[in-house]
Structure 1
């Protein structure tokens, strides 16, 4: 899967943004409490008990250097090969290495030497803690815009996760393209990140602290949908969203009317399929979702319940690692025995955050376009 455990950047060169991010996360931030906003620590959804138990086994020094904006733990992980983009001190990698089991494998890639130093320092500690005979986790030095140059093979990962990292890249489309390349067919990018209510001004984008705090590089959420489509992913599925608060007055003055949300999306590398609706039955058995599986903010499947889904969702389920967890039926039949879901439309994460009661967002600022940038999502 990887050529080696560390790699230079190859033909990919540092930008000034990369250097600023390295400085911010490698030298200025020493612990989570040093962050100036909640962007990098926003909990996106409740944490399942089995994930909490796994995190308790992570060494305190590793956890102390954790900076993330959501919970990046998708379902059905046993035996999977996972890549963590911007793995930092390795907290999520070690947690995931326990969840995939000794037959699975987790790789972490990060461009900051000091963070990787912490992760490698505690690799043996965690393998002994988990009772593994050999390591199932490794770390590589490199850039998320240049995964193959860092030695990561194409079509080699079942799942790629990222926790508040993609927004730190100056070339987000290239990140998505690289992710698409190293994912297997049927693979998934499951990631939490920060999105803004409009296209940000140059002043905000050039502000080193705001960029380091995951706000200055935030995408307008509709731009994510467009970029994902351009590199080949199916329509991104929104899982959950919550409002990001900024209490620092100096930063608030610079941000003006812009608002931010932490959102978790899942993107699948599957072929185009039929647009016809399909009846599916969740068979149960996924760890942590034995009775009910929340696929995204629109679809939650209960064991043995017949649900009519749109063609997009049916296609994803049929061609991903979830295929064996569902029984598929053709559409039609008595509606009395079937819960019919309408075609799943694209969901505005700001509106979802309001619906979930994460607070502080009015309808006027809940859409993609803020008062500062009324045409933010138009090309």
Structure 2
């Protein structure tokens, strides 16, 4: 799909989130309570041109350096700006002139709103498949986020490899995107409207997992998911029986992660301290760690906490000296649809 189609759709055709035809590019759930005040601090025009498909704000961002891939109007950049604080930094990359103009126009307004002496945000024009062409030093970002944009990229592997290159060891890419339960036919992928609505470029979920591993992210973790509703009858006819999902994944840059959940008799205790997760820490959809409780954990999950920015918030029990086989209850990845597959009427309703 020509990038000019995407530029046209998001730069000229769409005037606001109300113009979207599906729930794919909508935030399908309520705003978490700890983010409500921060979102209210974002300029109304910036919020109105937000086209994300999830809340892509991981916890424990204070003083971090964050990169937003496909930052659009800047909503998530300005939201994260408040979470990293004045000593942190957020860089947004987008290819659409109109969206970048909206983000830049309101930069000074936001800095005054946040009470910052100088901007802690920067916006760059560029293509996500060509991050190495930007003046960004490798290994300097703590976190990379992206909100319903990678599906619009032709070379998704290049995007993931670029993110891996820019992350510090132990850093993560935390992103929401659209996935499908099957590989889509060429006529769907070539349809400009379906592509612009984040459906035509959706990856088959079981193609994404090996792609992430090929980029260096060896153990992708699903955080949240929801089915996407398509109310437009003409679009439904084109899509046939394909089912789509908005899913948030986190991918850690940790060398040597194992291909399965291996048991070394390890455990962690969440000591608290993460403001957004005072009572329990959610690593992913399978690991919610209650504060103060000894929580048995596999070797990969242990490293995702011990060798990342989350280390100060945990006590760690055990090491890798003794192996006990596959962690009990661990399912082999890539054998079943991992997403919440509830029918749309049972799932979170569309915001569109």
- What is the match of residue 324 of structure 2? none
Q: Is 1:128 the equivalent of 2:115?
A: no
Q: Is 1:287 the equivalent of 2:287?
A: no
Equivalent-residue separation in structure 2 for 1:139 and 1:203 (angstroms)? 35
Map 1:98-177 → 2, pairs under 5 A: 98-177=82-161
Cα deviation digits, residues 18-43 of structure 1 (max 9, x gap): 11100100000011111111100042
Q: Residues 238 and 317 of structure 1: is their aligned pair in 2 closer, same or farther, counting only changes over 3 Å?
A: same
Equivalent-residue separation in structure 1 for 2:298 and 2:30 (angstroms)? 27
Equivalent-residue separation in structure 1 for 2:333 and 2:281 (angstroms)? 20
- What is the match of residue 335 of structure 1? none
Q: Residues 349 and 29 of structure 1: is their aligned pair in 2 closer, same or farther, counting only changes over 3 Å?
A: farther
Equivalent-residue separation in structure 2 for 1:352 and 1:218 (angstroms)? 14
Q: Is 1:193 the equivalent of 2:181?
A: no
Once the two structures are overlaid, the 10-residue window that deviates more, 108-117 or 274-283, is 274-283
Q: Residues 206 and 277 of structure 1: is their aligned pair in 2 closer, same or farther, counting only changes over 3 Å?
A: farther
- What is the match of residue 256 of structure 2? 272
Report the alpha carbon displacement of residue 278 of structure 1 after superposing the two structures with TM.
Answer: 1.3
- What is the match of residue 236 of structure 1? 220
CA contact (8 A) 2:65 2:142 kept: yes
Equivalent-residue separation in structure 1 for 2:328 and 2:44 (angstroms)? 44
Report the alpha carbon displacement of residue 347 of structure 1 after superposing the two structures with TM.
Answer: 7.7
- What is the match of residue 23 of structure 1? 8
Report the alpha carbon displacement of residue 354 of structure 1 after superposing the two structures with TM.
Answer: 3.3
Equivalent-residue separation in structure 1 for 2:206 and 2:254 (angstroms)? 21
Report the alpha carbon displacement of residue 68 of structure 1 after superposing the two structures with TM.
Answer: 0.7
Equivalent-residue separation in structure 1 for 2:82 and 2:114 (angstroms)? 7
- What is the match of residue 311 of structure 1? 299
Cα deviation digits, residues 136-168 of structure 1 (max 9, x gap): 001000011111202121101000000000000
Equivalent-residue separation in structure 1 for 2:210 and 2:18 (angstroms)? 35
Q: Please give the TM-score of this superposition, normalised by the length of structure 2.
A: 0.91
CA contact (8 A) 2:27 2:55 kept: no
- What is the match of residue 330 of structure 2? 343
Equivalent-residue separation in structure 2 for 1:314 and 1:327 (angstroms)? 10
Equivalent-residue separation in structure 2 for 1:354 and 1:197 (angstroms)? 10
Equivalent-residue separation in structure 1 for 2:112 and 2:334 (angstroms)? 43
Map 1:292-303 → 2, pairs under 5 A: 292-303=280-291
- Structure 2 unaligned runs (5+)? 321-326, 348-352
Which SS does the other structure have where 2:122 is aligned? strand
Which SS does the other structure have where 1:233 is aligned? coil
- What is the match of residue 32 of structure 1? 17
CA contact (8 A) 1:37 1:247 kept: yes
Cα deviation digits, residues 52-87 of structure 1 (max 9, x gap): 110001010111111010000101000000000000
CA contact (8 A) 2:229 2:344 kept: no
Q: Residues 349 and 324 of structure 1: is their aligned pair in 2 closer, same or farther, counting only changes over 3 Å?
A: farther
Q: Residues 99 and 348 of structure 1: is their aligned pair in 2 closer, same or farther, counting only changes over 3 Å?
A: farther
Q: Structure 1 stretches (4+) deviating beyond 3 angstroms? A: 340-352, 357-361
- What is the match of residue 316 of structure 2? 328
Equivalent-residue separation in structure 1 for 2:35 and 2:337 (angstroms)? 26
CA contact (8 A) 2:245 2:339 kept: no
Q: Please give the TM-score of this superposition, normalised by the length of structure 1.
A: 0.85
Equivalent-residue separation in structure 2 for 1:351 and 1:148 (angstroms)? 32
CA contact (8 A) 1:225 1:236 kept: yes
* RMSD (Å), alpha carbons: 2.0
Cα deviation digits, residues 352-372 of structure 1 (max 9, x gap): 4136x75469xxxxxxxxxxx
- What is the match of residue 71 of structure 1? 55
Pick the aligned partner of 2:241 from 257, 260, 283: 257
Equivalent-residue separation in structure 2 for 1:58 and 1:233 (angstroms)? 32
Equivalent-residue separation in structure 2 for 1:285 and 1:181 (angstroms)? 30
Equivalent-residue separation in structure 2 for 1:181 and 1:359 (angstroms)? 41
- Structure 1 unaligned runs (5+)? 1-15, 333-339, 362-379
Once the two structures are overlaid, the 10-residue window that deviates more, 132-141 or 322-331, is 322-331
Report the alpha carbon displacement of residue 91 of structure 1 after superposing the two structures with TM.
Answer: 0.4
